[in-house]
Structure 1
Amino acid sequence: MTVAMDARAELLALLEQVHADEQESTLPTFAHADAVDLGTRALALALERGLAVAIRVMRGDQLAFHAATAGTSADNDAWIERKIRLVRRLEISSLQARVRHELDGDDLGWLDPVQYALAGGCIPLRMAGGALVGTLTVSGLPDVDDHALAMEAVRAHLAG
């Protein structure tokens, strides 16, 4: 029982952090140049650390940036597509969806696992007012680390 309570406490802390992250992913602008900058910053971080990841930035329905480092495969691209579908469907980060599912047993069984990935790494990009304008997705690491890399790129972009 203690392990379950410790795990729940960890999930609650993670959920709180993810909520804060999603507030940070509100952008003042989201032009093509912003999308490319976000992707480029995520790629630079991955290359500096020798990480095997695929990165995609969507601007609405348009693919604005995609890169993959050594050690990735088409499977990472498939995971990205499934994570993006989840975020677009639920309008929350894919990590928030996964954590909420684990905490509350949210029944997401109606989501076809072939089409939707209940795994972190895709964050919604919003502008003031809350409208979803795009996504930044990372695939290749454990899902919490995919999410963290995406958020690090957002913070770097916002810092200029």
Structure 2
Amino acid sequence: MPLDRDPWPTLDELLREEGELELPALSESDAYELGMLAVAAAREQRLPIAVGVWRAGRQLFHCGLPGSTRDNDAWLRRKGRVVMRFEHSSLYMARLCQDKQVTLAEKFGLPASRYAAAGGAVPLRVRATGVVGWFGVSGLPQLEDHRFVVDTLRAISR
């Protein structure tokens, strides 16, 4: 799906955004709070999304809200695999592929059945540690998924 250049962030903007989203830590309790904050915001807006928080290959939080489906769960895992493979947001990888006019499969040999370069998942970076997991949602158009995740992370770090 071609990305409209005007509303989409550039690769540099996405890199800066990732740097701003660093966390002091990510415990099980932190993951639960992040997930519940996302669920509360999604319920308030009546968004049909699946929400997930993962750390070190372990799912610490998951919620499928009304209107979401198993397909959203599958998309969420596929986006998360992209985050952990490249340590960048799934939207960053979507933008990179779009700019180079390639797919993940063409450029990196990654099967589309397991990896999705589509917005909605971001790396969870812990200060002095690096990427330890990912947080994502699926159910909205990819740019909206991405913005929801970023807004939620920014709200928890205030």
TM normalised by structure 2 equals 0.89
Q: Distance in 1 between matches of 2:148 and 2:103?
A: 28
- Aligned length, in residue pairs: 153
Q: Does 1:98 align with 2:112?
A: no
Q: Distance in 2 between matches of 1:31 and 1:70?
A: 27
Q: Distance in 2 between matches of 1:141 and 1:65?
A: 19
The residue aligned with 1:69 is 65
CA RMSD of aligned residues (A): 1.8
Any idea what the Cα deviations from partners look like across 1:64-97, whole Å, max 9, x if unmatched? 1101111111000100111111111111100000
TM normalised by structure 1 equals 0.88
SS at match of 2:119: coil
Q: Distance in 1 between matches of 2:86 and 2:13?
A: 18
Q: Distance in 1 between matches of 2:114 and 2:151?
A: 27
1:50 to 43, 46, 51: 46
Greater C-alpha Rg? 1
One-letter amino acid matched to 1:122:
A
Contact 1:8 1:103 in 2 (8 A): no
Unaligned runs of 5+ in 2: none
Identity %: 37
The residue aligned with 2:22 is 26
* Mean CA deviation greater in 130-139 or 73-82: 130-139
Any idea what the Cα deviations from partners look like across 1:103-141, whole Å, max 9, x if unmatched? 123552211000101101000001113511110010000
Deviation, structure 1 residue 29: 1.1
The residue aligned with 2:33 is 37
Unaligned runs of 5+ in 1: none
Which has the larger helix fraction? Answer: 1
SS at match of 2:152: helix
Deviation, structure 1 residue 44: 0.9
